[in-house]
Amino acid sequence: MSEPSIMMGGRSRERTPEPLTFLKCLSCGVENSRPFKENDYVLKIVEDEKCPKCGGTRSKIVNIYVPEKKESK
């Protein structure tokens, strides 16, 4: 038998996953993450973002991924 309509319509749309960009400071080696911005890509050298630890401006993007839900909440 076909399922009743009430059960089919309710599921809400999945949310679009938001990736994080992981930057590694080229002066002190500390890794930081922030939300992904357009034109980010893995192995890109970012020149205009300050390292929160040492204040260095050059960093490299080492990873871009969507964190697992357990860890973000």
Instruction: Find out whether 58 and 26 touch, Cβ atoms under 8 Å.
Output: yes
Q: What angle do CA 73, 32, 28 make, to 5 degrees?
A: 150
Amino acid at 38: E
Instruction: Find out whether 23 and 35 touch, Cβ atoms under 8 Å.
Output: no
Q: Is position 25 an interface residue for Zn ion (rule: CB under 5 A)?
A: yes
Residues 30-59 interacting with another protein (rule: CB under 8 A)? 36, 38-44
Instruction: Give the residue, chosen from 6, 35, 71, 73, that forms a contact with another protein under the rule CB under 8 A.
Output: 71
The smaller minimum CB distance to another protein, of residues 36 and 49, is found at 36
User: Which residues bind to Zn ion, rule: CB under 5 A?
Assistant: 25, 27-28, 51, 53-54, 56
